[in-house]
């Protein structure tokens, strides 16, 4: 039960929403036909949410047949599915065509925000639901009383997000670090996972991807599930060990994953418990206050409409100003201060990514809400300062993470074979790769710079400057990355020296942050991005904006935070064999060739933690000229992003370590490893018959 006052507010709001629908259908409705249609449609959806709430309270989402659950789930998301999106108020283009630019954007925003009530209904978050009901009613009353101005409605939304930001931000913080927030955990640990109807208890849009994944995992032996979970949980433990961090100080781990993997997650929860770690599992943000563009952090299901999410990625521009940023930052600090004990024992995330969806190429619509230049700077400021606040309570030098990826059924009819291959890739021999990668590191440690050149149509021509080692017996500049935090294994990486790092990075096709970039070219001087372009759109201005928004995150430039050479030729051959390169996540793709990460270094906010390679040498290249500013100008040291851009082997002409005396040692030539001691890496090519 919730408080009497809240109960009364909720009931009054529900009664008013029911009357709104009737009023909009009335022949004497004072609204314009367009407004009446909008409020009738939205109030009908909200009324159905109330009905679904009652259905959930009566355990209908547990008792109904699979067919009934599928029908209800479809009804919940029908309006925003791709097949109906052209005529949905969630589509800014449609709303703008009816109400004009500003009013259409605002009403489209409002409808999408109200749709978050759907998942809140499953979690019985009555307070948030009531506040959203009241927001809708207030907007409606403005239309009812007079012809409202855009500014009047915008002010209402502004004060809504401002007034409730404290509650939303605190709830989000607790979801991450407080195991008592156990909505998802209860389903995973207590429901019969052999009956896929359990998936409909989460409230997400459920597709064949989630159902078939759950069914496939149900067919696997308990031994295989345990082994898969162990790869994941042991990688998390090793991350602390290799990072010289004490895991015994931690009591909480956060699992992030895509629905359908519950049987595996259940075993992971058990194994983490044996390590002394309780688990938190929270839903990807559904409200504007806590969303970060179209990026999902938490648990989620396959999106019902990725274009819709892309269309609304900058909706916060409707209300973002300096006062709101100050309030949200204050709310974040207050929340962490309130739960400082939980934050102090939070160990970091354990992430299970999925891949295999049909690649998404967004349509850039002029009707979408966009940040102004001032708001871009405010967004950057919030990201920087919020990260600093989080780091005060969840210290970077004390936390770790792990990440792994699995395919989903949408990847094709050979899903099960691909899944098995990925499991094998995730468990490649640690010792074999450790030794091979050490040969590469030994050469790179002696280099003044590394030269990377493309072949064929690839125009890459990069010179990456290396840090100078003072004590070769005890120091190294490349990390020997084997299976721990970053699964699968297969790369050596460093934080390069920015001064003297320059050239052009070119990739014919690459997916960055789930978005396809065609013929991407990025130019560097002294390690900083100076220019960029791609060929996604006919207009060059749109191409630049696409990169600026989705890779630079509206920064004017970013440094080269990482240079790496991927060694997982087994993964590369697997991807080529099944023709799924375009569907692989960066987690695997980055192991399939050299890659360049723009943004923060790999050691961001943990640069002072001493890290060693398996051979006992200290990795000294944890800083660059930007990150070291944390000691003198901390507001300029971090960008809170790190995006890997990989060049596939077949686009590489040469990677050479160049010494100060001009001697060149080739590591890769014409897409194959030519350095002595790396012959094993070419065997997957030979066995598969892959040639240049």
Per-domain residue ranges of the chain: 4-148, 183-393, 446-688
Instruction: pLDDT band for 483, please (50, 70, 90 cuts).
Output: low
Confidence of residue 634 (pLDDT cuts 50, 70, 90): confident
Alpha carbon distance 577, 414 (integer Å): 11
Query: Tokens 């060149």 identify what position?
Result: 664
Alpha-helical runs (H) found in 78-149? 92-99, 101-114, 117-123, 126-145
Looking at residues 16-36, what average pLDDT do you find? 92
CA pair distance 328, 290, nearest whole angstrom: 10
Distances (CA, A) of 2 to 13, 130, 191, 303, 626: 15, 12, 26, 32, 50
Question: Average pLDDT for residues 430-452, to the nearest whole number?
Answer: 95
The pLDDT tens digits for 80-103 are 999 999 999 999 999 999 999 999
Per-residue b or e along 550-578, where b marks 16 or more CB atoms closer than 10 Å to that residue's CB = bbbbbbebbbbbbbbbbbbbbbbbbbbeb
The length of the chain, given as a count of residues: 692
Confidence band of 611 (pLDDT split at 50, 70, 90): confident
- The answer to whether 232 touches 350, Cβ cutoff 8 Å, is yes
Are 267 and 363 contacting, i.e. CB atoms less than 8 angstroms apart? no
Q: Which of 502, 523, 685, 677 is nearest to 593 (CA)?
A: 685
Six token digits for residue 509: 């096709």
pLDDT at 692: 41
Q: What is the pTM of this model?
A: 0.90
Tell which residue, 346, 228, 337, 229, has the closest CA to residue 278: 346
pLDDT of residue 2: 45
The SS3 call for residue 442 is helix
Give the whole-angstrom CA distance, residue 533 versus residue 555: 15
> Which pLDDT does position 429 carry in this prediction?
82
Q: Indicate the pairing of strand 475-476 with strand 618-619.
A: parallel
Query: What digits encode the pLDDT tens for the residues 185-242?
Result: 999 999 999 999 999 999 999 999 999 999 999 999 999 999 999 999 999 998 898 8
Instruction: Please give the radius of gyration of the chain, using alpha carbons only, rounded to the nearest integer.
Output: 26
Distance, CA of 83 to CA of 69 (rounded, Å): 20
Instruction: Tell me the pLDDT of the chain averaged across its residues.
Output: 93
pLDDT tier at 4, thresholds 50, 70, 90: low
516, 536 in Cβ contact below 8 A? yes
Structure tokens at 110: 């409002």
Mention every residue, 6+ apart, whose C-beta is less than 8 A from residue 223. none
Q: Is the peptide bond before 197 cis (omega within 30 degrees of 0)?
A: no
pLDDT digits (tens, 9 = 90+) for 344-393: 999 999 999 999 988 888 898 999 999 999 999 999 899 889 999 999 99
| Per-residue tokens: 174 | 């607790």
pLDDT at 688 over 90: no
The average pLDDT across 660-672 equals: 96
Q: What is the pLDDT of residue 593?
A: 87
Alpha helices, DSSP H only, in 178-205?
A: 183-190
| pLDDT tens profile 288-347 | 999 887 889 999 999 999 999 999 999 999 999 999 999 999 999 999 999 999 999 999
Q: Quick one: angle between helices 4-25 and 33-57, nearest 10?
A: 140
Please report the pLDDT score of residue 108 as a whole number.
98
pLDDT surpassing 70 at residue 175: yes
Determine what percent of the chain is predicted with pLDDT higher than 90.
82
Residue 125 phi, psi dihedral angles, 5° rounding: -90, 75
Residue 333: name the closest of 467, 573, 169 by CA: 169
Instruction: Output the pLDDT for position 514.
Output: 77
CA distance 571 to 421: 9
C-alpha to C-alpha distance for 601 and 509, rounded to whole angstroms = 24
Q: Sorting pLDDT into bands at 50, 70 and 90, what band is 3? A: low
Beta-carbon contacts of 360 under 8 Å, excluding residues fewer than 6 positions away, are 306, 307, 310, 514, 515, 516
Phi, psi of 291 (to 5 degrees): -70, 150
For residue 347, the model assigns a pLDDT of 96
Contact 596, 454 (CB under 8 A): no
For strand 278-280 and strand 252-256, is the pairing parallel, antiparallel, or unpaired? parallel
Distance, in Å, from the CA atom of 55 to the CA atom of 119, rounded to the nearest integer, reads 14
3-class DSSP assignment, residue 236: helix
Give the ranges where 520-584 is alpha helix by DSSP (H). Answer: 540-550, 569-577
562 bridge partner residues: 597
In this prediction, residue 71 has a pLDDT band, given cuts at 50, 70 and 90, of very high
Task: Check residues 514 and 176 and name the one with the higher pLDDT.
Answer: 176
DSSP state, 248? G
Question: Does residue 605 or residue 246 have the better pLDDT?
Answer: 246
Please list the alpha-helical segments (H only) found in 312-403.
322-338, 340-344, 373-393
Beta bridge partners of 668: 655, 673
Higher pLDDT, 467 or 634: 467
Contact 517, 547 (CB under 8 A): yes
Q: Facing residues of 465 across strands? A: 449, 497
Measured CA to CA, the distance from residue 685 to residue 83 in angstroms comes to: 42
Judge contact between 222 and 266, C-beta under 8 A. Answer: no
């Amino acid at each position: 039960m919730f408080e009497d006052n809240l109960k009364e507010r909720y009931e009054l709001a529900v009664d008013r929403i029911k009357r709104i629908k009737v009023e909009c259908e009335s022949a004497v409705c004072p609204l314009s036909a367009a407004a009446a249609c909008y409020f009738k449609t939205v109030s009908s959806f909200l009324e159905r949410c109330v009905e679904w709430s009652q259905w959930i309270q009566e355990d209908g989402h547990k008792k109904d047949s699979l067919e009934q659950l599928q029908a209800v789930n479809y009804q919940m998301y029908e309006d925003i599915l791709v097949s109906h999106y052209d005529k949905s108020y969630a589509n800014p283009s449609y709303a703008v065509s009816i109400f004009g630019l500003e009013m259409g954007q605002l009403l489209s925003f409002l409808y999408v925000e109200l749709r978050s009530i759907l998942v809140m209904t499953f979690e019985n978050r009555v307070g948030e639901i009531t506040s959203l009901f009241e927001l809708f009613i207030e907007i409606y009353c403005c239309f009812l009383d007079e012809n409202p101005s855009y500014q009047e409605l915008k002010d209402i939304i502004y004060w809504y997000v401002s007034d409730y930001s404290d509650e939303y931000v605190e709830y989000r913080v607790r979801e991450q670090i407080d195991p008592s927030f156990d909505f998802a955990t209860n389903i995973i640990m207590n429901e019969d996972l052999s009956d896929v109807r359990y998936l409909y208890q989460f409230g997400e849009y459920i597709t064949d991807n989630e159902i078939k994944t759950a069914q496939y995992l149900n067919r696997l032996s308990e031994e295989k599930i345990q082994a898969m979970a162990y790869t994941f949980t042991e990688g998390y433990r090793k991350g602390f060990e290799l990072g010289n961090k004490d895991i015994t100080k931690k009591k909480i781990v956060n699992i992030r994953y895509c629905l359908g993997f519950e049987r595996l997650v259940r075993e992971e929860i058990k194994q983490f418990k044996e390590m002394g770690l309780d688990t938190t599992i929270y839903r990807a943000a559904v409200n504007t206050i806590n969303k970060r563009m179209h990026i999902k952090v938490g648990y989620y299901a396959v999106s019902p409409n990725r274009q819709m999410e892309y269309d609304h990625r900058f909706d916060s521009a409707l209300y973002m100003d300096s006062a709101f940023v100050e309030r949200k930052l204050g709310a974040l600090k207050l929340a962490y201060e309130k739960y400082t004990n939980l934050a102090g024992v939070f160990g970091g995330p354990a992430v299970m990514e999925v891949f295999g969806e049909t690649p998404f190429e967004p349509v850039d619509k002029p009707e979408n809400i966009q940040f102004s230049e001032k708001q871009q700077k405010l967004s950057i400021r919030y990201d920087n300062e919020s990260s600093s606040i989080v780091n005060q309570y969840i210290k970077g030098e004390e936390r770790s993470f792990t990440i792994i990826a699995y395919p989903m059924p949408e990847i094709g009819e050979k899903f099960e074979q691909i899944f098995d291959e990925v499991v094998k890739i995730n468990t490649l021999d640690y010792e074999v790769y450790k030794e091979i990668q050490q040969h590469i590191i030994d050469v790179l440690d002696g280099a003044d710079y590394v030269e990377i050149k493309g072949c064929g149509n690839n125009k890459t021509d990069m010179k990456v400057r290396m840090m100078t080692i003072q004590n070769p017996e005890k120091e190294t500049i490349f990390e020997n990355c084997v299976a721990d935090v970053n699964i699968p294994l297969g790369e050596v990486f460093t934080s390069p020296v920015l001064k003297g790092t320059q050239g052009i990075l070119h990739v014919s096709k690459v997916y960055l942050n789930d978005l396809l970039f065609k013929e991407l070219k990025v130019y560097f001087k002294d390690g900083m991005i100076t220019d960029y372009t791609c060929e996604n759109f006919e207009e060059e201005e749109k191409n630049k904006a696409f990169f600026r928004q989705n890779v630079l995150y509206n920064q004017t430039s970013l440094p080269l935070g990482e240079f790496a050479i991927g060694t997982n030729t087994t993964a590369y051959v697997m991807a080529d064999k099944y023709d799924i390169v375009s569907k692989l996540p960066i987690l695997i793709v980055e192991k399939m060739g050299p890659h360049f990460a723009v943004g923060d270094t790999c050691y961001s906010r943990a640069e002072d933690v001493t890290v060693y390679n398996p051979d006992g040498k200290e990795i000294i290249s944890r800083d660059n000229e930007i990150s070291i500013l944390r000691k003198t100008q901390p507001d300029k040291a971090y960008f809170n992003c790190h995006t890997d851009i990989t060049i596939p082997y077949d686009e590489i002409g040469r990677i050479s370590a160049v010494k100060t005396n001009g001697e060149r040692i080739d590591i890769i030539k014409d897409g194959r490893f030519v350095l002595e001691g790396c012959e094993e890496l070419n065997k997957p090519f030979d066995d598969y018959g892959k040639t240049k």
